[in-house]
Amino acid sequence: MGAKGMVAYLVRLVVERALGLLLFLIGSGWVLGPRGALWFAAYFASVGSVVWLYRTAPRTMAARLAITDSKDVTPVWDKVLLAAFWLLGYFVVYWVAGKTCDPSSPIGPIALVGIVVYMLSTALTAWALRENQFAEAVSRVQKERDQRVCSTGPYSHVRHPMYSAIVMWCIAVAMVFPSVWVMLVSGITAAVIVIRTALEDEMLARNLAGYVEYQQRVRWRIVPHLW
């Protein structure tokens, strides 16, 4: 990935987060509050992990940027699920959080644990991307790149650690912004990811050499000893 591509990617991430913050403020009547300030500080700071990945895993980041090159071979189900995840996880949840949570509510221990869970999810995502050079943003088998099974790092514990990180994020956002509606949106987001995991796992088993053997060695998809 060139420097210009990296800058464009960082700008996109910052704009997405800024739109999430804007929707939160619209929902809350332009009151950020201590919980909102804490969450969005961590949310924007997480962009720093992308800078680290640019330096340590440039091939992976370049592949994640090349979505336009792979859109014609991406399954329809993945396009639908990705769109749903993007809307729910980047935008809808923050408008709902602003609308349904008390912005003046103090930061309690549960919210602090939620921030820690979110930071751990960011670290897990970065670790997975650093480990797996074939971790594109879409679900497909990359025959043109001679894709191989990654079974090291977090992939030695679960088959889809990046989806584990997203589920952790779903839990974290509900802990920081505790409302039934935030829990509902984050729960639906987690369900979307679980469905995507199951479909992707099936696709890889059919089309990626060595994946069936990998399934036998690493039994768990997202949560060890659970699923």
- Tell me whether residue 172 is exposed, middle or buried, using C-beta atoms within 10 angstroms of its C-beta: 0 to 12, 13 to 18, 19 or more: buried
Predicted pLDDT at 66:
67
Q: How far apart (Å, rounded) are the C-alpha atoms in residues 132 and 158? A: 13
Predicted pLDDT at 7:
82
Domains, the chain, in order of start with CATH, read 3-217 (1.20.120.1630)
Q: What's 89's DSSP letter?
A: I
Predicted pLDDT at 68:
46
What is the torsion angle, in degrees rounded to the nearest 10, for the CA atoms of residue 85, residue 88, residue 94 and residue 96?
-160
Q: How far apart (Å, rounded) are the C-alpha atoms in residues 47 and 196? A: 24
Predicted pLDDT at 227:
85
Q: Which residues contact 186 (CB under 8 A, 6 or more apart)?
A: 93, 170, 171, 173, 174
Q: How far apart (Å, rounded) are the C-alpha atoms in residues 220 and 227? A: 5
Whether this model's pTM surpasses 0.85: yes
Q: Which two tokens stand for residue 120?
A: 């751990």
Block means of pLDDT (10 residues each) for the chain, 227 residues, are 74 94 97 96 93 82 64 79 95 97 91 97 94 83 82 95 97 97 97 96 93 95 91
Predicted pLDDT at 220:
96
Predicted pLDDT at 72:
55
Predicted pLDDT at 114:
97
Q: Which residues contact 53 (CB under 8 A, 6 or more apart)?
A: 60, 61, 126, 129, 130
